[in-house]
């Protein structure tokens, strides 16, 4: 499955992503990232056949909306309020539109919208972040529920360290 995040004035990139159980796999063409809800993030370099663990940056820890492309990991955060705000059709799929904000004590105009496709087992196929200075959209394309298990393990010939 491909995800295409569009940021601000039309910049976009394409990554391949997959999810199995509680692990997200993302390949941006340079690195493969494995993310889990407990915060562990691995980065694998195909070029060097190495892997390392990534620490969250201060910016990632402080922004309430960090991690929105890994929907289940984001949804497990505390102090996030979710509300159903309607339905919308996205790429031919009838979707439940869900709005996320920080809890009521936080004063912000920022919002994240998730679009869960009813015909795809409520898979979130679009995520839209709206801030005062930009809109970022993640959209899933070429969706398949057949995901090879081997994607979610560090290959045996990879060594520690980048």
Q: Domain for residue 160, yes or no?
A: no
What does the pLDDT read at residue 2?
46
> Which tens digit of pLDDT belongs to each residue from 25-64?
999 888 999 988 777 789 999 899 999 998 766 555 567 7
How sure is the predictor about 120, in pLDDT bands with cuts at 50, 70 and 90? very high
Q: Is residue 77 part of a domain?
A: yes
- Could you tell me the pLDDT band of residue 5, with boundaries at 50, 70 and 90? low
Give the whole-angstrom CA distance, residue 52 versus residue 126. Answer: 29
When divided into structural domains, the chain yields a total of 1
Looking at the domain assignment, is residue 49 inside a domain?
A: yes
157 is a domain residue: no
The answer, yes or no, to whether residue 125 has pLDDT greater than 90, is yes
What does residue 61 show for φ and ψ, rounded to 5 degrees?
A: -70, -30
Domain membership of residue 88 as a residue range: 2-142
Q: Is residue 9 part of a domain?
A: yes
Distance CA 136, CA 82 (A): 19
């Amino acid at each position: 499955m491909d995800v295409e995040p569009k940021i601000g004035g039309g910049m976009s990139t394409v990554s391949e992503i997959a999810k199995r159980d509680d692990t997200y796999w993302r390949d941006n063409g340079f690195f493969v990232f494995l993310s889990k809800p407990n915060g562990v993030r691995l980065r694998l370099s195909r070029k060097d056949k190495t892997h390392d663990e990534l620490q969250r940056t201060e910016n990632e820890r402080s922004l309430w909306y960090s991690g929105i492309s890994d929907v289940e990991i984001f949804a497990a955060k505390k102090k996030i309020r979710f509300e159903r705000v309607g339905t919308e059709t996205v790429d031919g799929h009838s979707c439940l539109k869900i709005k996320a904000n920080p809890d009521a004590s936080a004063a912000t105009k920022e919002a994240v919208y998730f679009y869960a496709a009813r015909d795809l087992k409520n898979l979130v196929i679009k995520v839209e972040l709206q801030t005062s200075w930009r809109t970022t959209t993640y959209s899933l394309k070429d969706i398949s529920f057949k995901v090879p298990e081997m994607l979610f393990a560090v290959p045996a010939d990879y060594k520690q360290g980048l």
